[in-house]
Structure 1
Amino acid sequence: MKTTLSVLMLSLLPGLALAAGEHGHHEGHNAASMQQSMHGVGRPGQPAEVSRTIAVDMGDDMRFIPAAIEVKAGETVRFFVKNAGKLNHELVLGNLAMLKEHADMMREMPGMQHAEPNMLSLKPGQKGGLVWHFDQAGTVDFACLIPGHMEAGMTGQVQVVQ
């Protein structure tokens, strides 16, 4: 009986860990709510439609370089992101309200891992890419949502012009 119970408990642990650690699986943050909160921000882009690549550096000074980016409405860009620091950092695209809400969640669940197309998490020295289509004029914010980073000023904006 003890062996069966132990095996059962061990087989459930990976699933429980994933449920607690993945952004796409926590309460109140499903695909439908993500789509609604992404209105006006754009959508994941297709690599074949990329018109240009924008290099973005993240550092332990809690800044993005550049922090101000301009794109055209209808443009699909690749963000080539480099973590030049010694801490983990991330780039998350969204509107300011969504980013603040997500940052609050990150404070409550600091081990949470990102699994959404508008997010890129990088360890020190890592590089990565994110392809995004900006479908309408306006402002799209981005930030590092690791607890304390956004509050320290690790934010930026994409101005989407006609």
Structure 2
Amino acid sequence: MTAPVMVLVGPPGAGKSSVGAVLAGRLDVPLHDTDAAVEAAAGRTISDIFVQDGEAAFRALERAEVLRALADEPGVVSLGGGAVMQDEVAAALREGGHRVVFLDVSIADAASRVGFDASRPLLVVNPRAAWTRLMDARRPTYEALATVRVHTGGKSVEQVADEVLAALEVAG
């Protein structure tokens, strides 16, 4: 059993994947993106899983992968935006002694980074309003679970990585 160096959480567009890649590179550890792992295991995109099987089916796959990653992945682990809303995931983060980094972002910065399109199934209808609703619902959980919070707006990926490492006092 190997715990991750850190776990990245935050909404779509916060930079979890791109910042995670820089952090993993600087720390010379692997990056494990749980959304990518779910897609690889299912042989389908998350959007396809949502459409074909429903959100509950996706959340079950996500939960299993996140819990496995929290127990077994040695590097930087990036969670999908909604993973923390599952009780088992939140409990594992809280009770596992994980260093959780909340990458916070405004809707303007998130929209400019990812756009809001069909690849984000929870944001398909009225994406800006949907993102705001999701963030309003998720923010208290992100904040409660976070060891540190880093605002990513208006910063380069490298600047965000610098702040994360400084906040966690990790050599990198």
> How high is the TM-score relative to the length of structure 2?
0.25
> Between Structure 1 and Structure 2, which shows a larger proportion of helix residues?
2
> Between Structure 1 and Structure 2, which shows a larger proportion of strand residues?
1
Which structure would you say has the larger Rg?
Answer: 1
> How high is the TM-score relative to the length of structure 1?
0.25
Which fold has the larger relative contact order, with Cα–Cα distance below 8 Å and residues 6 or more apart in sequence? 2
